[in-house]
Chain A
Amino acid sequence: MKKAKILALLMAVAMIVAVLAACAAPPATDSSSGTPATPTPKQDTQTTEPADKKPEPITFTMFVAGPGEAPPASNKIVQKIKEITGVTIDFEFLVGDMEQKVGIMIASGDYPDFIGAGQARGRFLNAGSFAALDDYLPKYPNLWKHYEPYLDTLRSISADNKIYILDIWGRQYWLNDGQDDFYEGDYNGPAFWIQKDVLAWDGYSHPVKLDDFFDLLERYYKEHPTIDGQPTLPFEIHSQDWRSFCLKNAPQHLIGGRNEGDVVVHPDTLKVEIYQNKWYARDYYKKLNEVFKKGMIHPETFTRNYDQYLSVISTGRVLAMFDQQWNFQDGESVLVAEGKINRTYVPLGLSYDGTKYAYNRVRNEGIIGGNGMGISVKCKNIERAMEFMDALLREDVHRLMYWGIEGEDYYVDANGRYRRTPEQKANFDNPDWRLANAGAVIGDQFPKLEGRYSNGNACSPGNQPEERLENQFPYDKEFYQKYGFYSKSDFLPLIDHPGYPEVWSIFSTMEEDNIAKPIFDQITDLQNRYLPGVIMADDFDAAWEEYVKRYDSIDYPALEREIERQIQMRLKKK
């Protein structure tokens, strides 16, 4: 506890020093030439640019198996990119049922040129929809540099050990100058999220044990039975449909696991364990049962639909919940808009024994394989397609897509730092302006740079530390200062990546007739149907026993073995 505080304090100091250093650095004469603001040793993310020539215009079609909105042809960055590469992308984003759309595409073989695989990656991979890129990659310098360290990871997801899907996320470029951590985005993953006001009321405490956490909620609830005139809801458990992870995923973290989904992976032996019937799940639900009986969990929490869940959060009367921040951020944004900053949330990494866990705050995942796009076997011109993607990885082109045009969308300050005026920020905050003027709509579907440019600036405005600090509310600044923190992320320690992808993501690249899938469905079904009842049971032990009995009738060890095999497969290929 104390150690963590000191560490965080050190980090904050380091950050301030870093910003000061950046201020003290000599002003860059020309930012587009890529002069680093902070001189850094050897690290170089500067990318190769081909000689100028007017490229032939070509239109590629692209299907993305996920939501999105195609930019109009008049989008200024789209036009710039067309000038540079000659390429126009004709997007089709998924609208209805993925299985139907993708099934038809595979059955008919009517593929577009590019495929954004999304959650359909397994289907496309197994159907042989992608062209193998092993022979092409080395010919394109930026792409090669981007993927060269991860070739085995890219190959590890295919049956015949070839490269089909290029990850579009996760390739981060760092300068290793001690400031890199500040360029990590805010934590928005799983945690016990608690209102800042509850912690402030308790003298800026920082509960670590599950018991202490509920104890704090109880004390606060006793003194604040209503908030803004409405009854306080001390703990919410959202459990609708696929969002039932809010109900089920906490136990894995309470013993120190990362977010694997429905299993825990032992870090040393890589043994896999289904946990919804284990002691650490039992203890958690027993605690919830206790808390429920005290009236601290409203029974309606289990039947609230997603809109109602967001609605109660937006009223500021939910003290805490287990969730992932992106899932409730729409509700939180109402609190922000109404200035109720003390009712917004920070993450806690609770445990049974008092260890402060990182949950999912994992450093630099790198490329995990399968999380991206590919070129279809029907692509009309693979060379041009690769050339296009190669160009998108140039720093100047990347900057166009994510920062915009210098002078119009951002400016370079005296220290060579990229900054935005309030108007420029307001523009970016307007979704309609973005659609007509920002290039991220293209960049988001293709390989991209993350981390920092060779000149030290962040690869996207949202990660530029100065910009983020500027956006912090006075309440937040003061609140974090009490802890010696820089942002809400600091409530969780930062740990290294274990080297294999999160297990839930392995599921989407498994072969379709993998035996794990039906078993997985069975346990999911069982959990969703029984757990609310267990939490609300008059006799917890009886309800738990009944549930475990059902659980044991499922052949879940087969699922555990299969996932172990899948993890080993991915590790071996590296």
Chain B
Amino acid sequence: MRKSLGDKIIDGIIVFFMCLIVIAMIYPMWNTLIVSFNDARDSIKGGLYLWPRKWSLFNYQSIFKTDKIFKAFLISVSRTVLTTILNVFFSGLLAYVLSHKDFVFRRFLTVFMVMTMYINAGLIPQYFLYRSLGLINTFWVYILPSLVGAFNVIVIRTYINSLPASLVESAKIDGASEMRIYFSIIIPLCLPVLATVALWVAVGAWNSWFDSFIFAPKQELSTLQYEMMKIIASSMQTGVRQPDYIAEASQQSRNMVTPNSLRAAMTMVATVPILIVYPFLQKYFVTVNIGSVKE
């Protein structure tokens, strides 16, 4: 389709506007990046905008000084991959069930599920539950509590409902089982929304550290984010009475770390792997050719 002159002008305006947004949106990450490569003590002075003033790799060195980070990275990857696959699969499945307007338990199950988003019994009963299920300090405490998400189910359900109903109906007439329909029709049709949910789940799983903190503090199960939290927390020792050599050292030594510089370096370390996921998912964000699914 050829674009008219008016279209091109509009395109120009949109592109200009988008460029402004891109600058505003990339700046925080860019600033974090340069802070991470700037000498920590020099960063205290502030005024770092576009380029490091005093290059230093020390912030990164302090993160990678032990091999704990690499083990934690593996744990993070496994929990993220596993949780994402399972959560997307199960959320989609339940969404499919609830997308049947005539399903007898539709109302009940929807309300039952939606309420889980708004009620919270608190941490202590949760801990007791996980303990009685034998999940404390096991890998499964990362997986089992997030097998399905109410929010995701609703979003997928809404998407399914916006698809032409005739598709599902025709499959039923063919006598296909529910699971078969889910696999062969719903999943391919829902790829854009499933990709979105996958992104949500993956990012959530990747970023979470709180479950390690409360339910799996064991070193072998430590995740990347939890390791990062540990390093930052340990750098925030001001206010605690310190052994004198530290006070002396911070005055004299060439290298020092501050919570801010570590946080910047860690944000880069933790974000780059997950940031790469999106461009891969982006290819599913295209209109699915409905005709092709039917074949």
Contacts and interface: CB of A to CB of B under 8 A. Distances in A.
Contact between A and B in the complex (any CB pair below 8 Å): yes
Interface of A: 66-69, 72, 90, 92-96, 100-101, 103-104, 107-108, 110, 169, 185-186, 188, 307-308, 310-311, 314-315, 326-327, 329-334, 336-337, 402, 425-426, 428-432, 435-436, 440, 443-444, 460-463, 468, 471
16 contacts: A67-B235, A68-B237, A93-B230, A93-B234, A95-B230, A100-B123, A108-B128, A311-B47, A314-B45, A330-B258, A337-B254, A429-B254, A431-B255, A440-B243, A460-B244, A461-B244
B224 to A, nearest CB: 13
Given A329-B250, A330-B258, A69 B245 contact: no
Given A334-B42, A429-B252, A462 B238 contact: no
B238 A334 contact: no
A324 to B, nearest CB: 9
Given A330-B250, A331-B44, A462-B247, A104 B124 contact: yes
DSSP class of B's interface residues: helix, strand, loop or mixed? helix
Interface string B236-272: 1111111111011111111111101000000000000
Contact of A95 (B41, B136, B233): B233
Given A426-B253, A430-B253, A462 B46 contact: no
Interface string B57-69: 0000110011000
A67 B45 contact: no
A432 B242 contact: no
Contact of B46 (A308, A327, A329): A308
A95 B226 contact: yes
Contacts, number: 140
Interface string B144-163: 00000000000000000000
B55 interface: no
A426 B248 CA distance: 11
DSSP class of A's interface residues: helix, strand, loop or mixed? helix
Contacts of A188: 247
B263 to A, nearest CB: 11
Interface in B61-93: 61-62, 65-66
Interface stretch (B18-26, B97-105, B109-117, B209-217): B209-217
Nearest to B255: A430
A551 B62 CA distance: 48
A72 B41 contact: no
Given A92-B217, A169-B241, A432 B61 contact: yes
Count class of interface residues, chain B = 35 or more
A326 B238 contact: yes
B229 interface: yes
A96 B41 contact: no
A100 B124 CA distance: 9
Contact of A67 (B62, B124, B236, B251): B236
A431 B62 contact: yes
Contacts of B65: 432, 435-436
B233 A93 contact: yes
Interface of B: 41-42, 44-47, 61-62, 65-66, 123-124, 127-128, 131, 136, 209-210, 213-214, 217, 219, 226, 229-231, 233-245, 247-258, 260
Nearest to A440: B243
B243 A72 contact: no
A72 B226 CA distance: 17
Contact of A311 (B45, B128, B255): B45
B66 A72 contact: yes
Contact of B44 (A334, A402, A443, A461): A334
B24 to A, nearest CB: 21
B41 A333 contact: yes
B123 A336 contact: no
A462 B244 contact: yes
A435 B235 CA distance: 12
Nearest to B212: A95
Contacts of A69: 230-231, 234
Contacts of B249: 428-431
B243 A462 contact: yes
Contact of B260 (A307, A327, A430): A307
Contact of A100 (B128, B131, B214): B214
Nearest to A311: B46
A96 B255 contact: no
B213 A101 contact: yes
Contact of A463 (B42, B236, B244): B244
B45 A96 contact: no
B131 A185 contact: no
Given A327-B238, A462-B243, 15 more contacts: A69-B234, A100-B123, A101-B213, A104-B123, A107-B128, A108-B128, A186-B247, A311-B47, A326-B238, A333-B251, A334-B44, A430-B255, A431-B257, A432-B62, A462-B247
A330 B233 contact: no
A96 B62 contact: no
B72 to A, nearest CB: 13
Contacts of B124: 103-104, 107
A90 B222 CA distance: 14
